[in-house]
Amino acid sequence: MKDQLRLAIQTALKQCYADGSLTSGELPDEVQLEIPKNPEHGDFSTNLAMTLAKPERKAPRKIADVLVAALQGNPLCDKIEIAGPGFINFRLAASCWYGVLDQITAQGSNYGRSQIGAGTKIQVEFVSANPTGPLHIGHGRGAVVGDAVAAVLQAAGFEVQREYYINDAGNQISTLGRSILLRLRELQGETIEFPVDGYQAGYIAELAAKYRSEQGELSGVSEAEAIESCARFGVAEVLTWIEADLRDFGIEFDHWYSEKSLYDRAMVDQELNKLKEKGLSFTEEGALWLRTTEFGDDKDRVLVKSDGSYTYFASDVAYHMEKFDRGFDRVIDVWGADHHGYIPRMKAMLAGLGHPPEDLEVLLIQMVNLLRDGKPYIMGKRSGNFITLKEVVGEVGRDACRFFFLMRRCDSQLDFDLELAKQQGSDNPVYYVQYAHARVCSINRNAAEAGVKIPQSGEIDYSRLELTEELALVKQLARFPETVVSAALSYEPHRVIFYLQDLAAQFHSYYNRYRVLVDDPASSRARLYLVNSVRTVLANALHLLGLSAPERM
């Protein structure tokens, strides 16, 4: 709808240049069209005349006059007005709007999808928690946001891959191995002293017990081999936990990428050599450095330490270089906000390799403050006194949990109140939206009982939808596709949540004020058609975010 109008305006503008009524020849890249806050200002509004004021060297309202004259008689528009400092306000013909209902009916679960991103390959890498323990609640937010960003991008036509990067190399893995080994020795009757830097949590003992029953006792191997063996076992085991917890949360990855495999395939050295050849790295004090300061970082960063071992940054660099080798046009990383200091060095690395900085987008996920009844729920890291994702999802439910994580922009901190999320009452916005869907389904059941079928396109007399509330609902439905596009282009899935709440509110209000199934069959059919379009869009938006659309509640 918006695009059609935009096209009409562009045509009119060109026509004005052709017949000389406007002279600058300026063609803006995009005609800005917005939906005015005040409905008296029409369905759409453009500031085009104001932006042309400078190049045309005329008063905005004069330019608007010319444009409006050129647009006169356009079948899309019911009324065109010039207002304020030079806005052009459009009121579209009601008949245009009702076509949206036919579109929704025809497209069904595809309504809202578009092809804006067609031909662009994007990878979204998210969660990527160390496989040294179960996912906790903090990982949950990144998981849902990453998943939803990937989903809206897909809906906008981008080719998307979801990837989990497994940090299965480095110190934290040997710590895991050592911790399991010590618990194992304990099980074998030895008295051990558990180091403070070991993993204390209870699941380590679980892993040790499982190791013992599956692999038997450890004997006749060196300490290093024993740690290695325990580490491998632990990583594999923990990864199955993580994968299962994520699946229960509705999240599946296309690809699990092992850090260790980078080393096994000598990819790290290979990619570091490329950097060396390009003169981006240098050796100093026995270490290999990446010259990130040339591209905006505060200081240069070490890739290979003076003892010959690699930094975490080295494998990260290799990993990201390899992502682009795999043919992705754009790469999105979802990180915890505490890692924000890494952005400049990663972008610097890409800049050094000739990538524009926008090719890597890092979404920072701010902290989750877990509350219970309004009081902070403190979690200790080392002590193992943390709430796992699995526990939270089990307690509050998958839909409520996902909804809460998506309710806010990801770069603002989130208060997550367990009691609030669990409540099945009016305080809980997820049920508010789902209830709207269930209500339409309920109407359908009543209609079926009365022998009224849900109408198809062509069986409707649109003149029966004459209420302002009905036209407003249709307009809201028409906004869904552009909402998805804007959520995708800005990587902000919360926009879809707000859209859902708005649509549900409009529907509930309409439902309370008017009956859908009335005595007059033509009116019943028309209204049934309308509310089922609402149902389709509610379901599409809910499913897009990985939420269920229940038929009864």
Binding residues for RNA restricted to 300-359, rule: CB under 7 A: 301-302, 305-307, 309, 311-313, 337-342
> And the tokens for 132?
């040294």
Task: Single out the residue of 442, 471, 472, 475 in contact with RNA (rule: CB under 7 A).
Answer: 442
Task: Single out the residue of 28, 367, 461, 466 in contact with RNA (rule: CB under 7 A).
Answer: 367
**Cβ of residue 191: shortest distance to RNA, in angstroms?**
29
**Residues 6+ positions from 131 with CB-CB distance below 8 Å:** 166, 167, 168, 173, 176, 234, 235, 238, 239, 242
* 3-state class percentages of the chain: helix first, strand second, coil last, to nearest 5: 55, 15, 30
Please give the size of the binding site for RNA, defined by CB under 7 A: 92
**Residues 6+ positions from 185 with CB-CB distance below 8 Å:** 192
216 scored as a contact of RNA (CB under 7 A): no
Distance (Å, whole) CA 284 – CA 304: 11
Helix, strand counts (H, E) of the chain: 20, 15
User: Closest Cα to residue 492, out of 204, 76, 149?
Assistant: 149
Q: Which is nearer to RNA, 26 or 338 (CB)?
A: 338
34 scored as a contact of RNA (CB under 7 A): yes
> And the tokens for 10?
């562009």
Task: Single out the residue of 501, 522, 543, 548 in contact with RNA (rule: CB under 7 A).
Answer: 501
Q: Which is nearer to RNA, 102 or 502 (CB)?
A: 502
Q: How many CA atoms are closer than 13 Å to the CA of 429, on its beta-carbon side?
A: 18
Distance of CA 547 to the CA centre of its chain: 13
429-447: b or e for each residue (b if 16 or more CB lie within 10 Å)?
bbbbbbbbbbbbbebbeeb
**Cβ of residue 163: shortest distance to RNA, in angstroms?**
18
**Residues facing 34 on adjacent strands:** 45
Q: Which is nearer to RNA, 212 or 409 (CB)?
A: 409
**Cβ of residue 428: shortest distance to RNA, in angstroms?**
7
Distance (Å, whole) CA 444 – CA 433: 18
**Cβ of residue 413: shortest distance to RNA, in angstroms?**
5
**Cβ of residue 513: shortest distance to RNA, in angstroms?**
6
For 470-515, the three-class secondary structure string (H helix, E strand, C coil) is HHHHHHHHHCHHHHHHHHHHCCCCHHHHHHHHHHHHHHHHHHHHCC
517 scored as a contact of RNA (CB under 7 A): yes
DSSP-assigned states of every residue in 261-280: HHHHTTHHHHHHHHHHHTT-
Q: Which is nearer to RNA, 121 or 260 (CB)?
A: 260
448 scored as a contact of RNA (CB under 7 A): no
239 scored as a contact of RNA (CB under 7 A): no
Distance (Å, whole) CA 403 – CA 484: 16
Q: Name the packing angle between helices 203-215 and 223-248 (round to 10°).
A: 110
**Cβ of residue 406: shortest distance to RNA, in angstroms?**
11
453 scored as a contact of RNA (CB under 7 A): no
Q: Which is nearer to RNA, 301 or 525 (CB)?
A: 301
How would you classify the pairing of strands 330-336 and 121-125? parallel
**Cβ of residue 10: shortest distance to RNA, in angstroms?**
16
**Cβ of residue 220: shortest distance to RNA, in angstroms?**
30
456 scored as a contact of RNA (CB under 7 A): no
15 scored as a contact of RNA (CB under 7 A): no
Q: Which is nearer to RNA, 41 or 390 (CB)?
A: 41
**Cβ of residue 92: shortest distance to RNA, in angstroms?**
14
Binding residues for RNA restricted to 283-302, rule: CB under 7 A: 284-287, 298, 301-302
**Residues 6+ positions from 90 with CB-CB distance below 8 Å:** 5, 42, 43, 44, 45, 46, 76, 77, 79, 80
Using the contact rule CB under 7 A, the part of the chain among 82-90, 230-238, 318-326, 538-546 near RNA is 82-90
Q: Would you say 80 and 117 are in contact if contact means Cβ atoms under 8 Å apart?
A: no
Q: Would you say 418 and 370 are in contact if contact means Cβ atoms under 8 Å apart?
A: yes
375 scored as a contact of RNA (CB under 7 A): no
Using the contact rule CB under 7 A, the part of the chain among 12-20, 65-73, 352-360, 504-512 near RNA is 504-512
Binding residues for RNA restricted to 133-172, rule: CB under 7 A: 167, 170-172
Radius of gyration for the alpha carbons in the chain, expressed in angstroms and rounded: 29
Task: Single out the residue of 139, 330, 439, 464 in contact with RNA (rule: CB under 7 A).
Answer: 439
Using the contact rule CB under 7 A, the part of the chain among 71-79, 104-112, 134-142, 490-498 near RNA is 490-498
**Cβ of residue 212: shortest distance to RNA, in angstroms?**
27
**Cβ of residue 112: shortest distance to RNA, in angstroms?**
16
Q: Which is nearer to RNA, 15 or 130 (CB)?
A: 130
For residue 252, what is the enclosing H or E element?
none
Q: Which is nearer to RNA, 252 or 394 (CB)?
A: 394
Binding residues for RNA restricted to 378-437, rule: CB under 7 A: 407-409, 411-415, 424-429, 431-432, 435
Using the contact rule CB under 7 A, the part of the chain among 106-114, 190-198, 347-355, 440-448 near RNA is 440-448
Binding residues for RNA restricted to 95-124, rule: CB under 7 A: none
**Cβ of residue 22: shortest distance to RNA, in angstroms?**
17
